[in-house]
Structure 1
Amino acid sequence: MDTMTRFGRAVVDWAAGGPASAGAAVAARELAAVTEVRTVVLVEGVSDRAAVEALAARRGRDLAAERTAVVPLGGATSIGRFLALVGPQGLGIPVAGLCDAAEEGYFMRALDRAGIGSPRTRAELAALGFHVCVADLEDELIRSLGTDAVREVVDELGEGRSFRIFQKQPAQRERAVEGQLRRFMGTHSGRKEHYAGSLVGALAADRVPEPLDRLLAHV
C-alpha cells in the first residue's frame, strides 16, 4: 500500500470518530509531515476515486508519486468534517474535489465555513478546485461514452445477461437506457467502483467528462 493510500485511510478513520480516531489522527499527521502531502482530492465515494485514479494513470500520471491523495468522503454530508481536518483549520493541505449537482450548495457552504473561499457560483467553486458532476460521475461517463459503448463495457465485464434481465424488471421497463445503466451500476456493493475504471478506460481522449478533466488539470 503506497503512502498516499495509507494517508487517505487514516484521514477516513480520523473523520469517522470513535475509539480508533485518536490513533488515526496521529497517523494522518505523521504521514502528512513525512511525505509532504501536496494535495488532497475529496470525492464522494470510492467509485469517484477509481475514476480519478484511472484517468490519471491513463494520462501517464502517478498521483501517489505526485503526493496527491484521493480521499472518498463516504457521502457528501461529510465534506465539512474532512475540510476541517485537512484544510487550513487542520493539516493545512490544499484541497480539491468532485461533487454531484445535488450537493453543489452544500459544498459551497462547507468551503465557506472552512475558510477556503466563499463560492456562490459553479465557476467560483471550480476556481477553488471543486468541480460539479451532472447529475453524478456515472451519469457524466454514460453520456460521454454513449449507451452503445457503455453496453459494450457491460458485456466485456461479463454482465450483459444480468443487465438484460435487469431491464425487464417492472421498475425499469419505462426507464431510458441511460437511467437503466446508471441504476444497474448501483445495485450491488462495489459494482460502481468496478465500472468506474472500465468506463474511463473506454473513453475517447476528447470525450472525458469536463468535471473530471478539469479536476485532473487542477491537481
Structure 2
Amino acid sequence: MDELGRFRRAVVAWAAGGAGADEAAAAARELSGGVRTIVLVEGNSDQVALEALAMRHGRDLDAEGVAVVPLGGATNIGRFLDVCGPTGLGLPLAGLCDIGEERHFRRHLGRVGLGSGLSQAGLETLGFHVCVADLEDELIRALGAESVQEVIEAQGEMRPFLTFQGQPAQRERPVEHQLRRFMGTHSGRKALYAGALVAHLDLERVPRPLDRLLTHV
C-alpha cells in the first residue's frame, strides 16, 4: 500500500479507538511528514468524487500530499478532529459535508478551537464546504436528470432504475428525487455514481462545494 493510503488507514484506526489506537497513532505521526492537508469527508462517495474531479483537472491529490479521509458518517467528525486537528497531528484541514450534518462540523470545529459560532461563510473560509442537500443532489442538479439517466444506462443499470421508479413509494416523486434515492439503494452504488457523474460533468458546471473545496486544497 502507498504511504498516503497507510496514513489514511492509521488515522481511521486511531479515531476508532480501542486496543490498536496507540499503535495507529504512532503510525499516523510517523507517516504525517508527507501530508500537506487532510480533507475530512462524510463517506467513500465524497472521496471518490473529489479525487475524480482532481484528476479531470490534471491533479493527483495523493502525489500532492492531500489525504482525503472518509469519516464513516458525519457524527464521527469530533473524533477525527481530535486526531487530525490542533491537539492531534496539527495538520491543515478542509472538509465536505451535507447540509443536514453541518451542525456537527460547526460544533466540533468550535470545540477544538478552529472557530466559534461559524456561519456557512465562516466554514468555507476554514476550507469546509456544505452540499445542498447532499453530494448526489449537487451532481444531479449540475448534470440534469436526462444526463444522469444516460450515465445510469451506460452503467447497465437502466432496468433496475426503471423497476425502482415503478415502486409505489416512488411513482409520484420528481425524477431528480428518484435518481438520488436510487443511488443509495445498494452498498457501493453511491461511490460508483460519484465517479461516473463527475466523469460526465461539464467543468464549467461543477457543483460549488466540490469546486471550492478542490480550489482550497
Residue aligned with 2:204, SS: helix
Divergent runs of 4+, >3 A: none
Residue aligned with 1:208, SS: coil
- Show the 5 A alignment for 1:55-94: 55-94=53-92
Stretches of structure 1 that go unaligned for 5 or more consecutive residues are none
Contact persistence 1:3–1:64 (CA under 8 A) = no
* Cα distance between partner residues in 2 of 1:146 and 1:41: 28
Instruction: Give the share of equivalent positions with the same residue, in percent.
Output: 66
Could you tell me how far 1:176 is from its partner in structure 2? 0.9
- Which residue of the partner structure matches residue 22 of structure 1? 22
* Cα distance between partner residues in 1 of 2:193 and 2:146: 15
- Which residue of the partner structure matches residue 138 of structure 1? 136
Contact persistence 1:40–1:93 (CA under 8 A) = yes
CA RMSD of aligned residues (A): 0.9
- Show the 5 A alignment for 1:7-156: 7-33=7-33, 35=34, 37-156=35-154
* Cα distance between partner residues in 2 of 1:119 and 1:199: 34
Residue aligned with 2:130, SS: strand
Contact persistence 1:99–1:131 (CA under 8 A) = yes
Could you tell me how far 1:20 is from its partner in structure 2? 2.2
Contact persistence 1:47–1:193 (CA under 8 A) = yes
* Cα distance between partner residues in 2 of 1:44 and 1:171: 27
Could you tell me how far 1:22 is from its partner in structure 2? 2.2
Q: Deviations over 1:93-118 (max 9, x none)?
A: 00000011011122111111111122
> Aligned residue pairs: how many?
217
- Which residue of the partner structure matches residue 212 of structure 1? 210
Stretches of structure 2 that go unaligned for 5 or more consecutive residues are none
Taking structure 2 as the reference length, what is the TM-score of the superposition? Answer: 0.97
Contact persistence 1:119–1:125 (CA under 8 A) = no
Moved more, 135-144 or 12-21: 12-21
Provide closer, same or farther for how the CA distance between residues 119 and 70 of structure 1 changes in structure 2, counting only shifts above 3 A.
farther
Q: Deviations over 1:131-175 (max 9, x none)?
A: 000000110000000000000000000101110011001111111
Residue aligned with 2:169, SS: coil
